[in-house]
Chains A and B, each alone.
Chain A
Amino acid sequence: MRVINLARTRIMIVVICLLFALVGGAGFWMYRWQYQTAQRVLQAWAAQHHFTVLEKELANDWYTGPGNRSASNKQVVYRIRVKDDQGRVHSGLATIGSKTMGTLEPIIDVHLDP
């Protein structure tokens, strides 16, 4: 009986380790997915407006974005430099996703500097 209990306990400990690995892996995947989605949405916006993205740099405020698990704003914000089809370079701020659902809503708001 004692042997059975020990075996069950060991199996449970292995299951717990697997659960931790699963959640850790899921967290890592979700973290990467949010930035990959943001990049995809930005590229789609650029293609639609005949821009080429030259540079993008993360510009989230300290308490916002996917880097903070309990942020009240999950948007991804990039400071971007883009080139139009006439060769002119513009810079601006691209905000991707919604505040509440982050990049689960693939929307983008771009403000190019005047």
Chain B
Amino acid sequence: MSVGSAISNALGTVFRPSGWKFVTSAGAALSVGTPIVHLGINAEGGAIYLTRGSERVRLVYGGIGGCASLSLVPSPVNFSFSMKQMPSNGVVYRLPYAGASLDRKELCGGCVMFEISGDTGPGASGNMMFLGGSEFFALAAAALTVGTGYLPALIASSNGVVFFGGMTATLLPFNVSAAVYIGGVSG
């Protein structure tokens, strides 16, 4: 077995088809600077729209996090958003902790989102969002590891992951950034 196919098989056992189809997404993010170079703190909120057969769900998410960014326009704050009418695309996978069907309830709970984005005003972002993480498990891990285990435990206990991306619009243009958010999903 080649290394490539071994990796492919390993990924296939972790990221399994969920049956959910990504429809669109919408969101907004506020970014503010810190005294540390290139680092900021962010708040993000939004919704992703999924379908499975006749079932349609809107998952509302919100989170807080940090980012590393480069910007052309100097400002201590920036704001970006996307609307559901803007082009976006994505795919939903079921993770090992999920049940056989990955129902709507399993997608709700704690979430972790990684995002990279770039813009010239209009721009694009790519996101990897882990859904349905166990806050209880994450808090227990955090208590045992002086907080450092929270994020890995929330990811490890997630039921699903959504890879999605699309068009964004930014108030002050010409930025590139990478961000991570911790929050929750309701739907």
CB of A12 within 8 A of CB of B70, answer: no
The residue that A24 contacts in the complex, of B32, B36, B63, with Cβ under 8 A, is B32
**A66 touches which of B30, B35, B175 (Cβ 8 Å):** B35
Q: Please state if A27 and B186 are interface contacts (CB–CB under 8 Å).
A: no
In the assembly, what is the distance between CA of A34 and CA of B174, in Å?
A: 25
Chain B residues with Cβ under 8 A from A43's Cβ?
A: none
Within 8 A of B (CB), among A2-39: 5, 8-9, 11-13, 15-17, 19-20, 22-24, 26-28, 30-31, 33-34
- CB neighbours of B43 from chain A (8 A): 16, 19-20, 22-24
| Size band of the interface chain A makes with B | 35 or more
Q: How far is the CB of A69 from chain B (nearest CB, A)?
A: 3
Cβ A102 vs Cβ B74 within 8 A = no
Cα distance A70–B117 when bound, in Å? 14
- Kindly identify which residue among A16, A26, A33, A67 contacts B45, using a CB–CB cutoff of 8 Å: A16
> How distant is the Cα of A27 from the Cα of B30 in the complex, in angstroms?
10
Q: A30-B33, A30-B34, A74-B36 are in contact. Are A5 and B187 (CB under 8 A)?
A: yes
Which B residues touch A71, using CB under 8 A? 33, 37-38, 74
Cβ B37 vs Cβ A72 within 8 A: yes
**Residue in contact with B76 in the complex, picked from A16, A63, A66, A101, CB distance below 8 Å:** A66
Whose C-beta in chain B lies nearest to the C-beta of A8?
Answer: B186
Given A5-B187, A34-B35, A68-B76, check contact A24 B30 (CB 8 Å): yes
Question: Quick one: which of B45, B64, B75 contacts A69, CB cutoff 8 A?
Answer: B75
Please indicate the chain A residues that have their CB under 8 angstroms from the CB of B14 in the complex: none
CB distance from A59 to the nearest CB of B (A): 15
CB distance from B43 to the nearest CB of A (A): 4
Which of A8, A20, A102 is the one whose CB lies under 8 Å from B36? A102
Q: Is the CB of A70 within 8 A of B36?
A: no
Could you list 20 further interchain pairs (A-B, Cβ under 8 angstroms) beyond the known A70-B37, A70-B38, A70-B177? A8-B108, A12-B62, A12-B186, A13-B45, A15-B62, A16-B45, A20-B45, A26-B32, A26-B41, A27-B33, A30-B34, A31-B33, A66-B33, A68-B74, A69-B69, A69-B71, A70-B69, A102-B35, A104-B35, A104-B36
Binding site for B on A (CB under 8 A): 5, 8-9, 11-13, 15-17, 19-20, 22-24, 26-28, 30-31, 33-34, 62-63, 66-74, 97, 99-104
